[in-house]
A and B are shown apart, each in its own frame.
Chain A
């Protein structure tokens, strides 16, 4: 009998401990999870938010767009970050665009090629164009780098550049903006695409953003509608957060002038001009 008591007591304690631990976290923290492309910006926003309102805490995690959306669906996270548009059953969720992010094609600064047409980029990524001399550069092979299947950056690139053609499966696949940036910065024959905000990054070796159809990838050109290679950054929630819930307060801050200016300063394109 005593044995049962022990076991019963342990179970009660465990259950009690777990529920209180989870409960207390959900009450005070806003948990944001998802796209690794949005994550660095969300972290900055969370930092600034905490600075302004020390009593409110925001916890930012990565995982990927789909993981973030799943986390919102299952109630693990309050806000999911997505760097791609919602599809299928995800459209039932509530979403708000917090900024736009342009994609820039980057090469090594020593590469003499400074601009490409969309057709040339397509040719490079399908494998029709294999040598830099075919697009006005040195006689050297082109090393293409792309993102992994399912990545928001890759789907945006496929949608806007590749049209209906497929990226050659021989292209090197890396799974973060940072990794692509590092390889391109170290090899004068490589080409890749990353978030515009990460092209000029203090403290890292430089890379060169290419002009596309004669238009440089800059915030101004995106706002003016000249540069069309961009995708939305979304905050997703299970349902529209109400008036003064912690989630709503954080989203309101992100959409406020302060929040938007912060994002603009980091190279994103704010939703209000």
Chain B
């Protein structure tokens, strides 16, 4: 009898704890929407998706921030994806085992560096460098893209490496037996076969770039205006919240939650896409 109670009790405890993590998600989601939706409703969609962010005058246009997020993420992708992909191919196919033993922990360490340290490094190294050689203040899309490209490397490298390693041995052996060179095998057999894993790696990496706040707030310049070049400052959705939350009250505060809703939607779409792609691969 006592034993049975104990069994039931432990089951309930674990269930309660598991429930708490899921309820945190629900709680946060509901909270953001409850706080943000009234603003979108009262300001109207044309104001909220307008070009002008100036909360003092009741203008809450977040289009410049959406463009900012897109441009910084694109920049990070252009710089980070080729490097990450090449690195994962090297790790999976070429690197001798002693080198893997050095590279793998090093890349994992890269993921462990706090984002504020990346931002600080960007501010004291990348920003002055851009300012000196390319002009301007240096606080720019370019600076943020460089910092983010480095930050997304661990995600891209580790996931695409795993998906390359997980391929059945027969693919590679068959291709080599048919007389393909090593590079031909990688290019026309292994990469296409691991495509879904690699795409998922890129999407998850970019998700990290979109969600990053602290590092970009320090190097981005944060102007709520449409950029004209990669040396212009922009503001992203995350930095809009991070920058202004301390002093925001009333509608202004709601507008930041509304920004959060848009961000939430973008990240959700990305994560669901990534999960869908990886799941499709498993089914096949």
Interface residues of A (CB under 8 A from B): 2-3, 6, 36, 62-67, 69-70, 88, 141, 143, 145, 148-152, 155, 158, 166, 169-175, 179, 182-183, 186-187, 190
Chain B residues with Cβ under 8 A from A70's Cβ?
249
With contacts A166-B54, A172-B139 taken as known, whether A148 is within 8 angstroms of B223 at the C-beta atoms is: no
A113 to chain B, nearest CB (A): 17
The docked-state distance in angstroms from the alpha carbon of A62 to that of B5 is 49
CB-defined contacts of A66 to chain B, threshold 8 Å: 246-249, 253
Q: Contact at A175–B243, with CB atoms within 8 Å?
A: yes
Task: Sample 17 A-B pairs with CB under 8 A, ordered by A number.
Answer: A3-B8, A66-B248, A67-B245, A88-B250, A149-B244, A150-B56, A150-B244, A152-B247, A169-B52, A169-B54, A169-B225, A170-B223, A170-B225, A170-B233, A172-B221, A173-B223, A173-B224
Contacts of A179 in B (CB 8 A): 218
Digitize B213-239: 1 where CB-to-A-CB distance is under 8 Å, 0 elsewhere: 000011001111100000011010000
User: Residues on B close to A: CB < 8 A?
Assistant: 5, 8-9, 12, 52-56, 64, 123, 128, 131, 136-139, 217-218, 221-225, 232-233, 235, 242-250, 252-253
Among all A-B residue pairs, the 3 with the closest Cβ atoms = A64-B246, A150-B247, A173-B222
The one of B128, B217, B247 that contacts A151, using a Cβ cutoff of 8 Å? B247
Known interface pairs A149-B56, A190-B137; A67-B244 also in contact (CB < 8 Å): no
A163 to chain B, nearest CB (A): 14
Residues of A within 8 A of B243 (CB): 148, 173, 175
Chain A contact surface mostly:
mixed
Report whether A187 and B225 are in contact in the complex, using a CB–CB cutoff of 8 Å: no
Does A63 contact B131, Cβ atoms closer than 8 Å?
no
Kindly provide the distance from the CB of B82 to the nearest chain A CB, expressed in whole angstroms. Answer: 30
In the bound complex, CA of A155 to CA of B252 (Å): 14
Asked if residues A187 and B131 are in contact (CB atoms below 8 Å), the reply is yes
Residue among B54, B123, B247, B250 with the highest chain A CB neighbour number at 10 A: B247
Q: How far is the CA of A170 from the CA of B234 in the complex (A)?
A: 8
B137 adjacent to A173 (CB under 8 Å): no
Residue in A2, A148, A152, A172 whose beta carbon sits within 8 Å of that of B137 in the complex: A172
Q: Is A148 touching B9 in the complex (CB atoms < 8 A)?
A: no
B242 — nearest CB in chain A belongs to which residue? A175
Residues on B with C-beta less than 8 A from A174 are 222
Complex CA distance for A141 and B137, rounded to whole angstroms: 10
CA distance A69 to B249 in the complex (A): 10
Asked if A2 and B5 make an inter-chain contact with CB atoms under 8 angstroms apart, the answer reads yes
Bound complex: CA A2 to CA B5 (Å): 8
Residues in B neighbouring A158, C-beta threshold 8 A: 56
Q: Which residues of B contact A187 (CB under 8 A)?
A: 131, 137-138
How many whole Å from A109's CB to the nearest CB in chain B?
17
Bound together, the chains give a CA A152 to CA B233 distance in angstroms of 23
Contacts of B53 in A (CB 8 A): 149, 169
* Cα A190 to Cα B127 with chains together (Å): 14
Q: Specify which chain A residues have a CB less than 8 angstroms from the CB of B247 in the assembled complex.
A: 64-67, 148-152
Q: Are A169 and B223 in contact (CB under 8 A)?
A: yes
Residues of B within 8 A of A190 (CB): 137
A3-B9, A175-B217 known; A150 vs B55 contact (CB < 8 Å): yes
Cβ of A173 and Cβ of B248 under 8 Å apart? no
Residues of chain A within 8 A (CB-CB) of B5 are 2-3
Residue of A nearest to B5 (CB): A2
With A66-B246, A183-B139 known as contacts, the answer to whether A149 contacts B252 (CB < 8 A) is yes
Q: How far is the CB of B164 from chain A (nearest CB, A)?
A: 42
A257 to B267, CA, bound (A): 54
Give the residue name and chain of the B residue nearest to A174 (CB). B222
Do B223 and A172 have beta carbons less than 8 Å apart?
A: yes
A186 touches B128 (CB 8 A): yes
B122 CB → nearest A CB, Å:
13
Chain A's closest residue to B246 (CB) is A64
Q: Which residues of A are found within 8 Å of B248, using beta-carbon distances?
A: 64, 66, 149-150
Q: For the complex, what is the distance from the CA of A171 to the CA of B54, rounded to whole Å?
A: 13
Q: How far is the CA of A264 from the CA of B64 in the complex (A)?
A: 42
Chain B CB within 10 Å, residue with most, of A141, A149, A166: A149
| Cα(A253)–Cα(B118), bound, Å | 41
Of B123, B138, B243, chain A has the most CB atoms within 10 Å of the CB of B243
CB pair A6–B9 under 8 Å, yes or no, is yes
Q: Which residues from B are CB-within-8-Å of A149?
A: 53-56, 244, 247-248, 252
Residue of A nearest to B2 (CB): A2
Instruction: Say whether, besides A64-B245, A66-B249, A148-B244, A173 and B9 are in contact (CB < 8 Å).
Output: no
Most chain-A CB neighbours within 10 Å: which of B5, B218, B245? B245
Q: How far is the CB of A88 from chain B (nearest CB, A)?
A: 8
- Of the listed residues B5, B56, B249, the one surrounded by the most CB atoms of chain A closer than 10 A to its CB is B249
- Docked pose: A23 CA to B229 CA in angstroms: 55
A121 to B106, CA, bound (A): 49
B48 to chain A, nearest CB (A): 16
Are A150 and B252 in contact (CB-based, < 8 A)? yes
| Cα–Cα distance between A187 and B132 once the two chains are bound (Å) | 9
Of the candidates B9, B53, B223, the one having the most CB atoms from chain A within 10 angstroms of its own CB is B223
Instruction: State whether B221 touches A173 (Cβ < 8 A).
Output: yes
